Amino acid sequence: MRRMLGHVGLAAAPNWRGGGAANGRGPASPPEAQLTYVVTENCIKCKYMDCVEVCPVDCFYVGENMLVIHPDECIDCGVCEPECPAEAILPDSDDKATPWVELNRTYATQWPNITRKGEAPDDADEWKDKPGKKDLFDPAPGKA
């Protein structure tokens, strides 16, 4: 069952610094661009899943050989980034994340949501620091 922490509005997102009715500056307005974290190619064939356990809003989705983050669910808290042994999670403002933003968005709507850490592949450590894994991406959904 998915953990529900209640509605998380833009005012609760750490990257939002706007005003709002509560502070007397008028109605709250969203930021121009909501920041998010992105899973990149370093996750392919590693899929350690340590990040899943710490996510307070359960925004990870599982594919056959990698995870993705749903950008509309991510609250930009950043707790997942240091948990990833493969250093596959980056803020979308990082140039290395740019090619992976749309892939995360697309597959987060097609793959099952994952809320608990599963078993990493047996050969995850062998793939951990290998570059150029993009061609090994598998679009098939994984098991939650």
Residue 68 counted as domain residue: yes
Q: Report the Cα–Cα distance between both ends of the chain, in Å, rounded.
A: 11
* pLDDT value for 124: 97
In a domain, 15, yes or no: no
The CATH number linked to 108 is: 3.30.70.20
Q: What is the pLDDT of residue 33?
A: 56
Structural domain count, the chain: 1
pLDDT < 70 stretches in the chain: 1-34
The structure's pTM equals: 0.77
pLDDT at 99: 95
The candidate with the shortest Cα–Cα distance to 34, out of 11, 16, 55, is 16
Instruction: Please report the pLDDT score of residue 60 as a whole number.
Output: 98
Asked if the structure places residue 53 within a domain, the reply is yes
Residue 106 lies in a domain: yes
Position 35 scores a pLDDT of 82
Q: With contact defined as beta carbons under 8 Å apart, do 68 and 39 qualify?
A: yes
In a domain, 109, yes or no: yes
Residue 28's pLDDT is what? 41
Express each pLDDT in 47-76 by its tens digit. Answer: 999 999 999 999 999 999 999 999 999 999
Residue at 18 is within a domain? no
Within a domain: 45: yes
DSSP reduced 3-state for 114: coil
φ and ψ at 46, to 5 degrees?
Answer: -105, -60
Domain that holds residue 54: 36-119
Residue 87 covered by a domain: yes
